[in-house]
């Protein structure tokens, strides 16, 4: 007949004194209080594993763990056993998981995510995203386990960015954090993407286009460019005039190496890998872009070649000739002309699009191809580019002649 064990009373546990030898006070169901010679009292649980071997699980010391709490732990362990789970292994796995989660901080996971994405980004994008994380996010929550971060913590970080007047940056970092949490969920390190529920925590952004002048403002702009010409470096003057004549994206222009231009043939072909749509990771547009040089643009390039032709780029950086000038060079030049907030590098594209359509009468599709926009008909995209090439050359010459006529009219 099995021995009947009477449950312990709280007073028995409290009054358990040390003896010459360690002894045990049993509560039943495998739970007992281990009393050491030193006087320490520890709750333990004895159970039998699947293979029949006995094992002992430690619950903690009394009085930190009370009799009631020890019984609750016993009940939890017996439930695990009833489901075929070893409570000792379950405890070790839980400890291991807790340590792993504590080590998987937001900064660690963010850097892993960033490293995985780097091959799909251009260098400037990768650099800018990491810098913004380091400046705005890591100092605030970088050392927090990603699975423990709460909504209010992340909202406070994003609003701090917004409150300094950087609303656009706050929205961008919110989007970046959403991707980082998504990555953590896929890696089994977080259960929820906090950013999904943050649609209205930041101030709504007003949609806006890049600042650009219109056709009626072109004469005044050309006059300002001519008046400021003497105060600019010759390459900077040429960059602004080429932006006006060929209306490339700023980065596509300033990063151009001389190797892409054949001054003898008057050709400028940009490899597709350097174009915006060529850098897409999914279905990149692998069509080289023909800039279609007018006589005026070709004359500017020949004059520029006499000055920077020995450098790698059309517009070499003054401090490091192996690198091109920065986008900021164009913006600073426009600011000195008095066009801060009124015109940007991208604004030259908008100006050309609207003016060529309205004043020169060219079809939208032809201008769109020259702007290297994505054609709506993907299947016919390569054919259309070749089909419009002759018309685009004619259009670009007409655009350059139109600008010359504007300058002459303004001098009358």
What pLDDT, on the 0 to 100 scale, is given for residue 141?
Answer: 92
- CATH code, residues 106-197: 1.10.150.130
Check if 310 is active-site.
Answer: no
CATH code 1.10.443.10 region(s) in the chain: 215-410
CATH code 3.30.160.390 region(s) in the chain: 10-94
Selected residue with higher pLDDT from 90 and 202: 202
Is the CATH number of domain 10-94 3.30.160.390?
yes
Check if 90 is active-site.
Answer: no
Q: Which position among 108, 117, 276, 336 bears the catalytic label?
A: 276
Q: Which position among 114, 241, 289, 349 bears the catalytic label?
A: 349
pLDDT at residue 158 is higher than 70? yes
Check if 305 is active-site.
Answer: no
Which pLDDT band holds residue 205 (cuts at 50, 70, 90)? low
pLDDT digits 0-9 by tens, 333-343: 888 888 888 88
What pLDDT, on the 0 to 100 scale, is given for residue 24?
Answer: 93
What pLDDT, on the 0 to 100 scale, is given for residue 412?
Answer: 67
Q: Give the angle subtended at the CA of 381 by the CAs of 380 and 385, to the nearest 5°.
A: 115
What pLDDT, on the 0 to 100 scale, is given for residue 376?
Answer: 54
Check if 48 is active-site.
Answer: no
| Measured distance CA(392)–CA(390) in Å, rounded | 5
Q: Which position among 346, 369, 385, 392 bears the catalytic label?
A: 346
CATH code 1.10.150.130 region(s) in the chain: 106-197
- C-alpha dihedral, 197 to 201 to 202 to 206, nearest 10°: 70
Q: Which position among 305, 373, 393, 394 bears the catalytic label?
A: 373
Check if 373 is active-site.
Answer: yes
Q: Which position among 74, 241, 249, 290 bears the catalytic label?
A: 249
pLDDT digits 0-9 by tens, 224-249: 888 876 678 889 999 999 999 999 98
Tell me the fold of 215-410: hpI Integrase; Chain A (1.10.443)
pLDDT at residue 14 is higher than 70? yes
Check if 249 is active-site.
Answer: yes
């Amino acid at each position: 007949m099995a021995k009947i064990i009477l449950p312990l009373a709280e007073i028995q546990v409290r009054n358990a004194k040390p003896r010459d030898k360690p002894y045990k006070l049993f509560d039943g169901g495998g739970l007992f209080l281990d009393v050491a010679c030193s006087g320490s009292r520890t709750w333990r649980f004895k159970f039998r594993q699947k293979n029949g071997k006995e094992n002992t699980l430690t619950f903690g010391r009394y009085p930190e763990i009370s009799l009631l709490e020890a019984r609750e732990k016993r009940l939890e362990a017996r439930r695990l056993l009833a489901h075929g789970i070893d409570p000792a292994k379950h405890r070790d796995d839980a400890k291991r998981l807790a340590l792993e989660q504590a080590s998987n901080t937001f900064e660690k996971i963010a850097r892993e995510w960033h490293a995985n994405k780097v091959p799909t980004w251009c260098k400037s994008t990768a650099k800018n995203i990491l810098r913004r994380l380091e400046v705005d996010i890591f100092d605030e929550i970088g050392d927090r386990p990603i699975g423990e971060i709460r909504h209010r913590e992340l909202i406070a970080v994003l609003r701090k960015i917004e409150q300094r007047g950087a609303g656009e940056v706050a929205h961008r970092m919110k989007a970046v954090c959403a991707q980082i949490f998504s990555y953590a969920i896929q890696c089994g390190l977080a259960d929820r993407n906090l950013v999904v529920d943050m649609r209205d925590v930041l101030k709504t952004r007003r949609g806006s286009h890049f600042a650009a002048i219109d056709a009626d403002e072109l004469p005044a702009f050309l006059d300002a460019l001519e008046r400021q010409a003497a105060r600019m470096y010759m390459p900077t003057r040429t960059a602004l005039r080429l932006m006006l004549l060929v209306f490339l994206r700023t980065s596509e222009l300033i990063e151009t190496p001389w190797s892409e231009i054949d001054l003898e043939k008057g050709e400028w072909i940009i490899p597709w890998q350097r174009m915006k749509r060529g850098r897409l990771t999914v279905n990149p547009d692998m069509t080289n872009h023909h800039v279609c040089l007018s006589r005026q643009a070709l004359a500017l390039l020949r004059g520029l070649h006499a000055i920077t032709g020995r450098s790698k780029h059309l517009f070499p950086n003054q401090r490091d000739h192996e690198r091109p000038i920065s986008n900021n060079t164009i913006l600073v030049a426009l600011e000195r002309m008095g066009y801060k907030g009124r015109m940007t590098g991208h604004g030259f594209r908008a100006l050309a699009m609207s003016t060529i359509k309205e004043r020169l009468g060219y079809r939208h599709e032809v201008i769109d191809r020259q702007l290297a926009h994505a054609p709506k008909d993907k299947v016919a995209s390569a054919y259309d580019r070749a089909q419009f090439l002759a018309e685009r050359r004619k259009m670009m010459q007409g655009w350059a002649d139109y600008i010359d006529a504007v300058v002459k009219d303004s001098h009358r």
